[in-house]
Amino acid sequence: MTMQNVGRPTRPQAATQSGHTSLTGARGLLQDEALIFELGGWDKTGVDLAPGDHDASDLGDLVRAAPIGLPGLSEPEAVRHYVRLSQKNHAIDLALYPLGSCTMKHNPRLNEKMARLAGFADLHPLAPQSTVQGALALMDRLAHWLKTLTGMPAVALSPKAGAHGELCGLLAIRAAHEANGQGHRRTVLVPTSAHGTNPATAAFVGYSVVEIAQTDDGRVDITDLAAKLSPDVAAIMVTNPNTCGLFERDVIEIGRLTHEAGAYFYCDGANFNAIVGRVRPGDLGVDAMHINLHKTFSTPHGGGGPGAGPVVLSAALAPFAPAPWVVAGEGGFKLVEETTDEAAQGFGRMSAFHGQMGMFVRAYAYMLSHGSDGLRQVAEDAVLNANYIKAKLSPVMTPAFPDGPCMHEALFDDTWLEGTDITTLDFAKAMIDEGFHPMTMYFPLVVHGAMLIEPTETESKLELDRFCDALTALAQAAKGGDVERFKGAPYLAPLRRLDETQAARKPRLTWRPDDKGVSPAPLAAE
Ligand SMILES: *Cc1c(COP(=O)(O)O)cnc(C)c1O
């Protein structure tokens, strides 16, 4: 892979397998796209500003001495640049997005419409509370349904992602231990299949992490857990359903053993989509669990928008919840902001204001439009779809845990690729040529060459069949020895196979004018 002088990989030598390339790098009606800094000059602007009637001396020392260095594009040029870039990206609105553990479901347009209502979208977080009663009421209703769906008595809405929610949960756990004279507890137990954010969060809070082994059928090894639960353990962090796509069938016993040892049970709720409306984590003995609104409750994620990771808390942890939260009183709703009175034991704050308001609106709209029967069906259909994929692909790929059904994601290993000289990565790249975003690869780490496929409930049978047919055809090509199809893939993407190690180790995230030998024009004032 060669790089051009701004650190981007060069265009493929052969853009298609037939070897035909365009003279410009464009494909069909899709033009090749330069960086915005390489486009246009420095002398243009998309807005028509009247000449100011102040002279520069009004600004004193603050007069700009050097060129500002922003690209100059007209409005149509700027629009086309971003639309062309968007066409090079995959999106849930284009096709199935089977990233396991990410729950890439359709974002209903109704949610977007509600979030754009001026009464929500145009609020300032410091607006007087008497003027934003509707927004506070919405937060209160959202909190109510999150508590109801999880069977937990309290919720902190402010964490801004799943990982931020983990941090919130562990800070509440640490505060509770300290309040109970148990501040000496220094260890957090995490299963080997955990998402990387779990051990990272525990370490960030200052705990040391000890791994719990896994059984042959992909669950927490209860014997190993019991052996490691000591008076030094502050908490366990368990994902349920776990990252192998399996329900922890001993979850009640996990909670019981944990509490018996004086520790708290943190549940990573990223996979709540598989059980929402069917199982209440509070009934399983969970003390704290984050809910990724951007997974289970369909708010956009990835490049599509900010996340939101509210954390539900058990009665034992509720007093330690971070501010703020909404309370309903005689004069209407108010936010408890100070760590005094009602919030005396709270551990502090997770963010400057109350969290991602736009995501709260979307998640609440999703809940209301589904109703309790609809949310239950979300979980049922998510599980049904994953089992359909597992059943349809098992003849050609090897399921990591063949016995019994899976929950909302189907996990395959790379045993079926043995002897083909093709790796999980090669296979995933070839999927791009077939129009499908790859599944999650090499995670969870406990499964060799893992391929974790999560279809979500929003995919129809037609779409699932198209996906399974494409993967079956690819699997047959792999077994038939068509190695080139995989090693060189993707052939048909705007850029070919990228050097992912280089990209991770030596990312070039800035552009300087001399990268391209272009200098910004001097300021008009000079
Ligand atoms: C997505 C995910 C997380 C982290 O959530 P973010 O919102 O991405 O921070 C944690 N654990 C699991 C199992 C996940 O799938």
**Could you tell me the pLDDT band of residue 74, with boundaries at 50, 70 and 90?**
confident
Shared domain check, 474 and 339: no
Query: What pLDDT, on a 0 to 100 scale, did the predictor assign at position 342?
Result: 64
For residue 141, how far is its CA from the centre of ligand 1 (angstroms)? 24
User: In terms of pLDDT, which residue wins out, 62 or 24?
Assistant: 62
| Closest protein CA for atom 14 of ligand 1 | 270
The reply to whether ligand 1 has any atom less than 6 angstroms from the CB of 105 is no
Mean pLDDT on 226-230? 98
Shared domain check, 306 and 168: yes
The reply to whether ligand 1 has any atom less than 6 angstroms from the CB of 270 is yes
Shared domain check, 400 and 322: no
Question: pTM here?
Answer: 0.90
Supply the range of the domain harboring residue 416: 374-498
The mean predicted confidence, pLDDT, of the chain is 90
| 34 falls within a domain | no
Task: Please say whether the dihedral angle defined by the alpha carbons of residues 356, 358, 361 and 364, taken in this order, is positive or negative.
Answer: negative
Residue 382 has pLDDT above 90, yes or no: yes
DSSP-derived 3-state class of residue 331:
coil
Shared domain check, 318 and 174: yes
**Could you tell me the pLDDT band of residue 525, with boundaries at 50, 70 and 90?**
very low
The number of the ligand 1 atom at minimal distance from the alpha carbon of 194 is 13
What tens digit of pLDDT does each residue of 83-92 get? Answer: 999 888 888 9
What tens digit of pLDDT does each residue of 246-271 get? Answer: 999 999 999 999 999 999 999 999 99
User: In terms of pLDDT, which residue wins out, 219 or 516?
Assistant: 219
The reply to whether ligand 1 has any atom less than 6 angstroms from the CB of 307 is yes
DSSP-derived 3-state class of residue 213:
coil
| 156 falls within a domain | yes
Neighbouring residues of 125: CB distance < 8 A, sequence distance ≥ 6: 352, 353, 354, 357
For residue 478, how far is its CA from the centre of ligand 1 (angstroms)? 32
What tens digit of pLDDT does each residue of 166-213 get? Answer: 999 999 999 999 999 999 999 999 999 999 999 999 999 999 999 999
| 504 falls within a domain | no
| 67 falls within a domain | no
Residue 459 has pLDDT above 80, yes or no: yes
The reply to whether ligand 1 has any atom less than 6 angstroms from the CB of 191 is no
Shared domain check, 445 and 304: no
| 32 falls within a domain | no
Query: What pLDDT, on a 0 to 100 scale, did the predictor assign at position 304?
Result: 61
| 316 falls within a domain | yes
For residue 281, how far is its CA from the centre of ligand 1 (angstroms)? 17
The reply to whether ligand 1 has any atom less than 6 angstroms from the CB of 195 is yes
C-alpha neighbours within 13 Å on the C-beta side of residue 515: 15
Shared domain check, 396 and 343: no
User: In terms of pLDDT, which residue wins out, 293 or 49?
Assistant: 293
The reply to whether ligand 1 has any atom less than 6 angstroms from the CB of 309 is yes
Which CATH number belongs to the domain containing residue 457 in this structure? 3.90.1150.10
Q: Which of 243, 248, 289, 292 to mutate to test the pocket of ligand 1 (most atoms within 8 A of CB)?
A: 292
Shared domain check, 384 and 313: no
* Domain count within the chain: 2
Shared domain check, 221 and 246: yes
The number of the ligand 1 atom at minimal distance from the alpha carbon of 197 is 10
Quote the DSSP letter at residue 130.
G
User: In terms of pLDDT, which residue wins out, 494 or 227?
Assistant: 227
Query: What pLDDT, on a 0 to 100 scale, did the predictor assign at position 523?
Result: 43
Shared domain check, 448 and 348: no
| Closest protein CA for atom 15 of ligand 1 | 101
Residue 17 has pLDDT above 80, yes or no: no
| 244 falls within a domain | yes
| 124 falls within a domain | yes
Looking at the chain, the whole-number percentage of residues with pLDDT higher than 70 is: 91
Please give the structure tokens belonging to residue 250.
Answer: 């001993």
Which CATH number belongs to the domain containing residue 131 in this structure? 3.40.640.10
Spatial distance between the Cα atoms of 361 and 285, rounded to a whole number of angstroms? 29
Please give the structure tokens belonging to residue 311.
Answer: 């954390």
What are 410's strand-pairing partners? 453
| Kind plus residue range of the DSSP H or E element containing 259 | helix 251-260
Shared domain check, 398 and 310: no
Q: Which of 104, 164, 195, 350 to mutate to test the pocket of ligand 1 (most atoms within 8 A of CB)?
A: 195
- Measured in residues, the chain has a length of 526
Shared domain check, 262 and 344: yes
Q: Which of 166, 268, 272, 454 to mutate to test the pocket of ligand 1 (most atoms within 8 A of CB)?
A: 268
Q: Which of 99, 197, 456 to mutate to test the pocket of ligand 1 (most atoms within 8 A of CB)?
A: 197
The reply to whether ligand 1 has any atom less than 6 angstroms from the CB of 268 is yes
Examine the fold and report which residue of 339, 366, 393 is the final residue of a domain before the chain moves on.
366
